[in-house]
Amino acid sequence: MDLLRFGAARHLQLFTTTYRSMHLLKNKAFVDGKWQHAANNAVFPVTNPADDTVIGEVPDMSEKDAKFAIDVASKAFKSWRDSTARERANILRKWNNLCLENVDHLAEVLTAESGKPLAEAKGEVIYGTSFLEYFADTARHVTGEIIPSPWPNKQILVTRHPIGVISIITPWNFPFAMITRKVGALLAAGCTCVIKPSEDTPLTALAAVELAKQAGVPDGVVNVVTTSRNNAASVGKLLCEDPAVGCISFTGSTNVGRILYGMAAKGIKRVSLELGGNAPFIVFPSADLENALDQAMLAKFRNNGQACVGANRFLIHESVFDKFIEGFKGRIGKKCILGPGTKAGVTCGPLVNKMQVDKVSGLVDDAVSKGAKVVVGGKVAKELGDKFYQSTLLVDVKPSMEIYHEEVFGPVAVCYKFKDEAEALEVANSTRGGLASYVFTKDLGQVFRMSQKLEFGMVGINDGIVSVAEAPFGGIKESGIGREGSKHGVEEYTDIKYTLMSALDK
């Protein structure tokens, strides 16, 4: 027996002993309401980043499988678009209820493949499920307009129509919530979809659609095509370029978003892109420092820093800088407990894969080599494995360092001193990223000025988390196009039609 196959057999044995109890663990893709193999029966392993054990194998689907799924979704659209908003709302509400009944089952799958601590995984499921509830309510409020016309015998009617098949490409950092935020909205609008989850976290997507099936989502309306890293690019291309697809909704890096946008442009397709950020976290002298520090922990260490809305650069006024650093260091020491996500008390799990670890290490090492000072952390926590990175606090960071400009996407807080509001604004806006930003102040005038002048799609005043189903989530500049959540999130999946009704006096 060759060593590779022996290794695989041992991992699969581990899978059957370690992961047997997971009720929502699936090992097939989901197309046309059925659990499907890849046409060529290829599979790939999904591993637990905490210990590299194989959780399961899923189909490694190719363009042929993805094309089949698009055709299925296209056929299903013909009847789903004619369902009533009330019917769609009821199904979404059932899906919401089933997810809430299965929080623990969904969370164990999520923790196993993403590494995030169990409590945080449950938090993501509850957060993600809130989109299903919200869009169940919103489905019945997707309305049009009658615009007063300039002619006495004519009416201007504006109606909204579902776009059709939506290609959904989701990331590994919030593998449940990024699906519900998109799929909840598009179902409410009357669209159908093909989801390509990240190759690191396909199991959460499959668990989520098992519950969608139980909730009564008709066959073919929601489909999941799983692919390994090898097939991801070709399947992604097809999902963007197939003429039957009306819109591409992607959450992920700006680099990949740029490629997908280019592909979508060929067919003049609609896009909804939630891309990388470079969020400033600005603390002014009037801020309640204890609150700012508590929020800094959330803004930086939620999901171990692997969030596009995560605080990337802490800009702290010089008069409170030392106090802030002291408080931050103390809180990191007390609250960042590194370990496998299933271990009680752990608050920071592994990074999702080796590439992430290498990226974070590379940025910190570059900064340190150019003079940055490590207040805490700064290394891979080798005693835990090769994917755990110490929660890190850096000061004395300069523009010559890569970390000054790059989105870190890891547990590294980078702090700068500023002198006045103008400097804080200039540094904060000196990036092509424009997703989230955070400001801490009690000065009301300053609140308005910052809200006005920060070039970001979202501004949190005295708060480190802005995401909620009711609000429009999204960025400007290279952080994306379109909004998710809120009524705007549903409208993304509709086209506006203007009908001129004339000769009404004849």
274 is catalytic: yes
Per CB under 6 A, which region of 303-311, 358-366, 372-380, 450-458 contacts ligand SIN? 303-311
Active-site residue (options: 124, 274, 491, 492)? 274
Q: How far is the CB of 276 from ligand SIN (least distance, A)?
A: 9
Out of 282, 308, 315, 364, the only residue in the binding site for ligand SIN (CB under 6 A) is 308
Q: Specify burial of residue 294 (Cβ count, 10 A radius: 0-12, 13-18, 19+).
A: middle
336 is catalytic: no
9 Cβ contact partners less than 8 Å away, ≥ 6 residues apart:
1
Name the residue among 279, 303, 276 with its Cα closest to residue 410.
Answer: 303
174 forms part of the interface with ligand SIN (CB under 6 A): yes
- Pick the closer one to ligand SIN by CB: 238 or 309: 309
- Can you tell me which residue has the tokens 């489905």? 139
Q: How far is the CB of 150 from ligand SIN (least distance, A)?
A: 44
Token code pair at residue 216: 């009564």
Q: How far is the CB of 204 from ligand SIN (least distance, A)?
A: 14
| DSSP 8-state class, residue 199 | T
Question: CB of 231 within 8 A of CB of 198?
Answer: no
- Pick the closer one to ligand SIN by CB: 264 or 469: 469
Question: CB of 262 within 8 A of CB of 231?
Answer: no
Token code pair at residue 282: 């600005």
Using DSSP, state whether 416 is helix, strand or coil: strand
Active-site residue (options: 99, 240, 308, 336)? 308
Per CB under 6 A, which region of 23-31, 162-170, 307-315, 349-357 contacts ligand SIN? 307-315
Bin 41: left if φ > 0, else alpha if -120 < ψ < 50, else beta: left
Token code pair at residue 62: 């190719």
**Distance in angstroms (rounded) separating the CA atoms of residues 320 and 482:** 37
Out of 74, 96, 180, 467, the only residue in the binding site for ligand SIN (CB under 6 A) is 467
Q: How far is the CB of 11 from ligand SIN (least distance, A)?
A: 29
Q: How far is the CB of 403 from ligand SIN (least distance, A)?
A: 19
Question: CB of 29 within 8 A of CB of 40?
Answer: no
173 forms part of the interface with ligand SIN (CB under 6 A): yes
**Distance in angstroms (rounded) separating the CA atoms of residues 351 and 357:** 6
# of chain residues touching ligand SIN (CB under 6 A): 7
- Pick the closer one to ligand SIN by CB: 190 or 460: 460
Per CB under 6 A, which region of 91-99, 305-313, 387-395, 452-460 contacts ligand SIN? 305-313
Beta strand segments in 3-53, E: 29-31, 34-36, 43-47
Q: How far is the CB of 196 from ligand SIN (least distance, A)?
A: 17
Out of 61, 217, 240, 309, the only residue in the binding site for ligand SIN (CB under 6 A) is 309
168 forms part of the interface with ligand SIN (CB under 6 A): no
**Distance in angstroms (rounded) separating the CA atoms of residues 364 and 353:** 17
281 forms part of the interface with ligand SIN (CB under 6 A): no
**Distance in angstroms (rounded) separating the CA atoms of residues 204 and 108:** 9
Chain residues that interact with ligand SIN, rule: CB under 6 A? 173-174, 177, 307-309, 467
**Which residues are part of the catalytic machinery?**
274, 308
